[in-house]
Every structure is written in structure tokens, then in C-alpha cells.
């Protein structure tokens, strides 16, 4: 007799299969998003910045934030945020300044060069949104339903993490 529980009973296996397929799709979509951004920058001949860094600049926008806030606000999901911030500062895409109150903390904001990258990514996203709607891939109602469902999963997962601690 096995010590492990089966993944699901037959009555719940359909939901589990659908859930696992959704998780896989979310992962694939994120990787594909990075590829789409990378291709756009290659097409424009901008080769000194990677897709993760471009997406980070897009998400920061006009805000001035600390590295810690990048994760808590959901702007950045990677484990190498310090590395990417350092590279973006070195390449002139971001300004950094020590916080006056807490000298350990560094605040970052986009330079003009960083704002140009943000505009490129924003334009790419705007073209995609227009194409998705124009070609009948998504409409506002279906997009609202997707976003609502993903936010509910996010809330559920956040609650699960809180229970650990």
C-alpha cells in the first residue's frame, strides 16, 4: 500500500487537471511575454537591455521606489532584483539615490532613457490590446472575467503563504 495520497479522487480529478493546465499556461504565457518583448527590442536594434529589465522599467513607470517595494507592489517577480537594478543604473536607464531617512535604502526612478523603454513596451502592449480586440480574441467582458479569476487565485495563494508563518 502506498504511503502517498493519490493526486485526486475521480470526482475531483477533472478540476485538478484543469488547475494544473492553467498553472502551466500561466508559466508559458509569462515566458512568451518575455519573448515578445525581446523580439520587439531586437527588431528596434536595442540590444543592451533584456526583456525582464524592460518589463521592470515599464512597471515602475513614473514611480520612485525602493528595491523592496518592487516586490511588495508586484512590479517585479524575480529573485535577482538587485542585479537588474544595478545594471539598469549602470546603463543609464535608472537614477538611484540613498534614502535620507534610512541610509541603507536606495530609491530608484527612471531616467529619460528608461522612460523611452517604457514607451516602447507601452506601445507594444497597446498594439496587442488593439489586435486582441479587433480580431475577436478577447473583449472587455472576457478580459474582466480572466482578471477577476486571476486575482482570486492570487488572493488564495497569498492567504496560503500567510498561514505558513
Please give the domain boundaries of the chain with CATH numbers for all domains. Answer: 51-134 (1.10.10.10)
Residue-wise pLDDT for 114-139, tens only, equals: 999 999 999 999 999 999 999 999 99
Helices (H) and strands (E) in the chain, counts: 6, 3
Segment 26-42 shows an average pLDDT of 97
Q: What is the pLDDT of residue 4?
A: 52
User: Cα(76)–Cα(138) distance, rounded to whole angstroms?
Assistant: 26
Residue 69: the pLDDT is 82
Other beta carbons within 10 Å of 96: 14
Find where cell 487565485 sits: 153
Model pLDDT for residues 142-156, shown as the tens digit of each residue: 999 999 999 999 999
Which residues lie closer than 8 Å to 39 by C-beta, 6 or more apart? none
Give the mean pLDDT of the chain: 88
Helix (H, G, I), strand (E, B) or coil at 108: strand
Residue 1 is predicted with a pLDDT of 45
Average pLDDT over residues 60-78: 80
Sheet holding 65-66, edge to edge: 65-66, 106-110, 94-98
Which of 119, 120, 48, 123 is CA-nearest to residue 84? Answer: 48
Residue 11's pLDDT is what? 60
Amino acid at each position: 500500500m502506498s504511503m502517498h495520497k493519490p493526486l485526486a479522487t475521480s470526482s475531483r480529478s477533472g478540476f485538478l487537471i484543469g488547475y494544473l493546465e492553467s498553472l502551466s499556461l500561466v508559466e508559458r504565457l509569462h515566458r512568451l511575454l518575455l519573448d515578445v518583448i525581446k523580439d520587439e527590442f531586437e527588431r528596434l536594434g536595442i540590444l543592451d537591455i533584456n526583456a525582464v529589465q524592460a518589463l521592470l522599467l515599464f512597471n515602475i513607470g513614473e514611480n520612485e521606489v525602493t528595491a523592496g517595494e518592487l516586490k511588495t507592489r508586484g512590479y517585479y517577480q524575480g529573485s535577482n532584483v538587485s542585479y537588474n537594478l544595478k545594471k539598469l543604473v549602470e546603463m543609464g536607464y535608472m537614477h538611484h539615490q540613498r534614502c535620507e531617512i534610512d541610509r541603507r535604502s536606495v530609491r530608484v526612478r527612471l531616467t529619460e532613457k528608461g522612460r523611452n523603454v517604457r514607451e516602447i513596451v507601452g506601445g507594444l502592449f497597446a498594439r496587442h490590446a488593439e489586435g486582441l480586440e479587433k480580431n475577436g480574441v478577447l473583449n472587455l467582458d472576457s478580459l474582466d472575467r480572466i482578471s477577476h479569476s486571476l486575482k482570486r487565485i492570487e488572493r488564495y495563494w497569498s492567504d496560503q503563504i500567510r498561514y505558513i508563518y
